[in-house]
Every structure is written in structure tokens, then in C-alpha cells.
Structure 1
Amino acid sequence: MASSKVSLKLLIDTKGNKVLFAEAGKDFVDFLFNLLSLPVGTVIRLLTKKSMVGSLGNLYESVETLSETYLQPNQSKDAILKPKTPISASDLPLLLSADETMIGKKFYMCPSFHRNVADDPRAACPNCNCYMNTKIPYIALAKVASSDDEGGYVKGVVTNMVMDDLVVKPMSTISSIALLQKFSVKEVGALEERVVDLGMDEGLKLLKASLQSKTVLSSVFLGNMVAGTLWLHLGGNPVRKFWGGLWG
């Protein structure tokens, strides 16, 4: 079973209160890459409808409140609201694995065990027309232990650099120096190295921040808000108003 915590080493610009980049191992990069495989319905449910940006939360709620009467006989609301993730996802350090969408596939046959298989117990057997509601075990492909087979997406021998905006690239001394120049870091003493743990709470925050922000790591680990300045014209006079708050 994957660990419920993943360690991450951050390089922080204390003057700018910003994460320049993170030094990350295989577990964290696998977690980031696996976010791309999560179905939209799963993402909305994990983040809750009220915290979603835009109208997808409303769309999700529309399906929730829709009567089954209006659905096709071979469709269910769970197929939309609780879609299954890829089976391979069970091998990854998801940090979100407590969610029931990570459960493996289920297959069914008719009571007469004709040579037909369905993934929905309401399907009708083409041979006897009975419901195919007899559950049969799903056997995943057994993995042969190998030093070369680590599971996940990326190799564990490479240390990766994850930028504040989640750009991922193999880490090297040259690329680190180039980034310091890019960010115009002139005082090395202003840099702080900090090791943080990413658990389920941080994983959910990171998922949410990735949909809303270009400074994801700073938002999650430094509490930075996505902020800006809005000029309002009240009574003909411009009024400068602060706006922001990623988690508000």
C-alpha cells in the first residue's frame, strides 16, 4: 500500500515569499501525473461542488438531483458522478485513495453463466435475457517482482524539479543555477530550504490550486493567495481594492 505521506524539499525565496521550485522524488511526480487521469466527476466530488470555480459544480448538482426516471434504462447517475479511475491508478501514491472511485472494476454474468460478461448488473444476457447480476471476481494481472518494475509513471533513480506552476523536469545543477538567474535571485542568504510533507489535505489543496493558480506550491505550502488589484470607480473617483483568496 502506498504511503499516506510524500516528502518534498522546497527552495523558498523568503523575500518574495515564493517557492522557486521543489526537489521531488518519484512519489510526488507520480501523484502529479496521475491527477491528469482523474475523471472530471471525481475531481468535482473530491473538491466539493461549492468550492469549484465556474459552473461544473452546478452541472454536477443537476445530475445529483435528476430523477432516475429521466435516464436511459442502461444508464445510472453513479456512472457520471462516481466514474471509475484507471485500474493502474491503484498502484500510485494518490493521497486520495480513500475515495471509493479507486475501487477496482466489477464484472457480472447471468445466473446460467453464459459466455457473456458485463460491467453493469442491469445488463440483459443475449442468450437467456436474464439480468447479468451474478458477480464474478476480477483478477488483475499479477506482477512479477523485478528491480526494473517500480510501478507508477516515472523512474525512481531520477530526482525531479517541480516548478511553482507544476512544470516538471529532471533536476540538474545547471538548471538550478539558470533558474536562480531567471528569478533574479541576488542574495543567496534570502533562500531557505524547507522539507514538507504532502498528505491527503495538502493533496486536495494542490488539486484545487492547480485548477486556479499559476503559483500552486506557494499557495499550498506558504499560504499565498492568488491576489490582484481591482480599480473601482465610485462616484467618479477611482478606489483601489484588494481582491484575492484562493481558499476563501
Structure 2
Amino acid sequence: MKYSITGQMAGLCALSLLLAACGDSPADEAPVTEAVAPVEEAPTLADAVTNAEGPFAPKDDCGALYGFDSFRGQLRRAITFQNVDSLAALADPAIKLDFGGGAGVDELKKRLADDPELWGEMGDAIALGCAAQGDTAATMPWIFASLPDGTDGLSTYLVTANDAPVLASADAESDSTGTIGWDLVKLAGDGPAADSEFIEVSTLDGATSGFVAEESLRPVSSYRILANRGDDGWKVTAFLTGD
């Protein structure tokens, strides 16, 4: 392809005008935007479970249940993407939602719209393992169906960390008397204050006691998912908290 002298001159003129309009001095240069460090996402309960070690670390007893892995995968995706229609399709039409008569898919949708944090509660329940009851029933998290006999579900917590510090008082600066990991603890004293960051607890055998950060404790009676397999496959039959 050939270029004419006239065309080249026109191009040079146009370039000159462009440089003049934008400015060629340092003061006229576009400001340099500083690189923004990526925001680190807070660790999730699923992250903590990955390398969990302790007497009550989550287990998965449901992998061998017919069709359960596929069902759980679909359930996990629905929760991850907060897809209410996909979740509804995996729920029993009469899904139980509380102990006061709350039930049904429409009520589930309403509660998720009113309180989006429930999506996280469902995700945590799945992350904490699964207990099988026979061939057609499953409970998530695993611990809810695996409590030692005589355990009071309303006053018992699961430590959700490998090395949660046990402190001498309800103060982050107080001395640590040791650590506790993936064990069950019960309330000690009068129970936690409403705004307390630390809860006084002791292990079920009483061998270890002290204050543990609330963020490392999950009530065993907290939200759980119950699922059953019927003629139309696996369905979520209950999403409950309390005892």
C-alpha cells in the first residue's frame, strides 16, 4: 500500500493538534492512579473446616447415601448464588421452619428476603459435615445428630477452630491458659452478656475452663438442615434453629 506525501502531512498535523490539546508538559499529564490492594475476604467456616482437628471435628457420613452427593451439590450451588428458585425446587413443599407452625416454600422465600443472613446460616450448616440416619435421612451439621447422650443442646457450643485461646478473663489482653479445638463446651457461670465478645465455658468433662471468643463458638442448637429421600428424590424437609 502506498501513502502520499499530502496524506502523511495531514496525519502529522492531526497528531500535532492532538498533542497540543492534551498538553505535553508534566503538569498536564493524567494523574497516576495508585494500585489498590485486593480486599482479603474474611475466613469462612468452610475454610476452618478444611483442616479441622479435634474430638468433634465435622465428619461426613452421607457420601454413600444414594443420590445425596448430587443433591447436596445442587443445594450448595443454590445457596452460594442465593438462587431462591433453585433452593425452592430442592425443598419439600411443607418444609418446617420453626417450632411454632412456620412452614412451606412461600414462607421460606419470605424469610430469606427479610433476612439474607439466613443464606450464610445454611452454608455453615452444610460446611459442618453431615450425619446419616439410615438410608433416607440426613442432618447437617453433623454435630447436631452426634451429641453425646445427656448433652443439653441449649447450653452447649461447638468450638469452630483448631486452636481457640482459652483466656483467664473476658478480656483479649488477659492471660491465656491454653487452647481448645473442635470440642464441645458448655456454658459456665451465669451465661454470656448480650454484648460480650467472650463467653465463659468449660469442656463437658470440666477439665478445661475459661473464656473463649464468641466468634469461635457455635451453639449446637443453631440452624440445621434436615433432608429426606422420597419418591421424588432428596428434599430439604426442615431448616430450623433452637431445640
Tell me if TM exceeds 0.5: no
TM-score class normalised by the smaller sequence = under 0.3
Larger radius of gyration: 2
Given the two structures, how large is their TM-score scaled by the length of structure 1? 0.19
Given the two structures, how large is their TM-score scaled by the length of structure 2? 0.19
Which structure has the higher relative contact order (CA within 8 Å, separation 6+)?
1
